[in-house]
Structure 1
């Protein structure tokens, strides 16, 4: 739907600091087992989200529901706030000293920015895969997968660790390629393999949502196709939100799209969102038509 004009402006407020509270992360023994709390996909709901870097407003009252077990693609030209919005969804926006925001981000109805929720809990439930693969280069493939568990203080037996490594590498479509060299450095893998290793690492902490910021932009077509296959296979188990500039990719992998746009120095807004089929075949806004057909951007 086209963005709705509002009469009330949300003022910039500092990003709220995290603090311990009753919604602290589940206990250390929870993650390796299949019955881990929070292991099921969640609906992510952004409500009236505005964002600033210092006095510069980059997003204006963005609202978007990202349903569980769906792939949502964020599309739009560079500089319209897609990646900022993605980072807001798992509290990475606040890592920038000048950053501030207004609005809510709800994970199955609970605000991830609530003062009673730990930032580590939010990032454990909402994982992130970045544009450039970032495995720990000197760490083995095996240890890369388990890195998130160590960072979260999760305890697991050797059998649990072995099973988790195989499970996550299999889900990321990498197990058959690396099963006989798990103790080799993750940095020795190809670019596409490194990206799938990062996906496996994210999956190891049982996220409910997985955010992907242009995960294929630096990859060759063969690696891109494998990552897209992985996204399709994972969508039944984890809610996925992906930023992409590749319209063909958005059409291939997503269930719904949101078109972001920032015009003439104004903050980014969602011009239109809906099912991927409708967005590409019957867009309601002429700007959406122009963008998905490659007339600008």
Structure 2
């Protein structure tokens, strides 16, 4: 498969303090002997939402998981290449896994709050895992800030001690976003965060993504082409053809990918002719 070289090194908006570009360089991934990604290189600029699109089985979610070292937790999985957050490789042996996870958060396809834990404690769960100390007043402020950023504060402020598992699906997903934000990540990865949600909840999550994009770099996997067009500024089209590993066919500004792609396979996919 021919990979089209693309320069995605310049952010479309100036990054705020705390934001960081994430830069994958020649990333290949295996499950046992099966190679699922082949030398994927992609710059995901600070201050933007980058959408990863492509048919099922082309390696999008695997690639997303390499960006915060989740891939290496799968038995038999292996990886080659580098992933830079700013100027530091997150796979450098000298770097702690917890450091990468603190700086690069993850929101999964299915909402996964701790069901028996209160809404309040769900938001703060990441602090305990990363050993961050905070006073009661600081914790209260952080819970309010993160729930507000996730678009959930007004809906739950009077029941913070209720179980997180009692919320609706869309609310649970926004709670998971709030939990990810509590450790102040520089990057937020989202793996099909709306696929299990109704249209109203999907619109609210998309609104939240738009509101967060100015303060945290976002990378989202989606099969919804309309969603990719709505929420992202950069887009990368993945494809795995005839049993070959997944690779990027084309990447660039979202508007160009949808209106004037270079590769005909990209045009066929975004216009629904396959996938």
TM-score band w.r.t. shorter chain: over 0.9
Unaligned runs of 5+ in 1: 6-37
Instruction: Please report how far the alpha carbon of residue 164 of structure 1 lies from its aligned counterpart in structure 2 after TM superposition.
Output: 0.1
Asked if 1:57 is matched to 2:35, the reply is yes
Instruction: Please report how far the alpha carbon of residue 111 of structure 1 lies from its aligned counterpart in structure 2 after TM superposition.
Output: 0.4
Instruction: Please report how far the alpha carbon of residue 151 of structure 1 lies from its aligned counterpart in structure 2 after TM superposition.
Output: 1.0
* Equivalent position to 2:209, from 231, 238, 248: 231
Change in CA separation of 1:45 and 1:293 when aligned onto 2, cut-off 3 Å: same
Asked if the contact 2:29–2:35 (Cα under 8 Å) also holds between the matched residues in 1, the reply is yes
Aligned twin of 1:148: 126
Asked if the contact 1:39–1:206 (Cα under 8 Å) also holds between the matched residues in 2, the reply is no
Change in CA separation of 1:124 and 1:87 when aligned onto 2, cut-off 3 Å: same
TM-score in terms of structure 1 length: 0.88
Query: How many angstroms apart in 2 are the aligned matches of 1:131 and 1:69?
Result: 23
Asked if 1:106 is matched to 2:91, the reply is no
Query: How many angstroms apart in 2 are the aligned matches of 1:80 and 1:249?
Result: 19
Asked if the contact 1:71–1:254 (Cα under 8 Å) also holds between the matched residues in 2, the reply is yes
Cα distance per residue 1:223-254 (max 9 Å; x no partner): 00000000000000000000000000000000
Aligned twin of 1:167: 145
Work out the number of aligned pairs and report it: 264
Aligned twin of 2:3: 3
Q: What is the DSSP-based 3-state SS (H/G/I as helix, E as strand, rest coil) of the residue aligned with 2:159? A: coil
Equivalent residue runs for 1:14-163 within 5 Å: 40-163=18-141
Aligned twin of 1:260: 238
Cα distance per residue 1:63-114 (max 9 Å; x no partner): 0000001000000000000000000000000011211111100000210000
Asked if the contact 2:58–2:246 (Cα under 8 Å) also holds between the matched residues in 1, the reply is yes
* Equivalent position to 1:191, from 169, 186, 208: 169
Cα distance per residue 1:134-188 (max 9 Å; x no partner): 0000000000000000111111111000000000000000000000000000000
TM-score in terms of structure 2 length: 0.95
Instruction: Please report how far the alpha carbon of residue 4 of structure 1 lies from its aligned counterpart in structure 2 after TM superposition.
Output: 5.2
Aligned twin of 2:8: none
* Equivalent position to 1:281, from 259, 264, 267: 259
Instruction: Give the superposed CA RMSD.
Output: 1.2
Unaligned runs of 5+ in 2: 6-15
Asked if the contact 1:48–1:104 (Cα under 8 Å) also holds between the matched residues in 2, the reply is yes
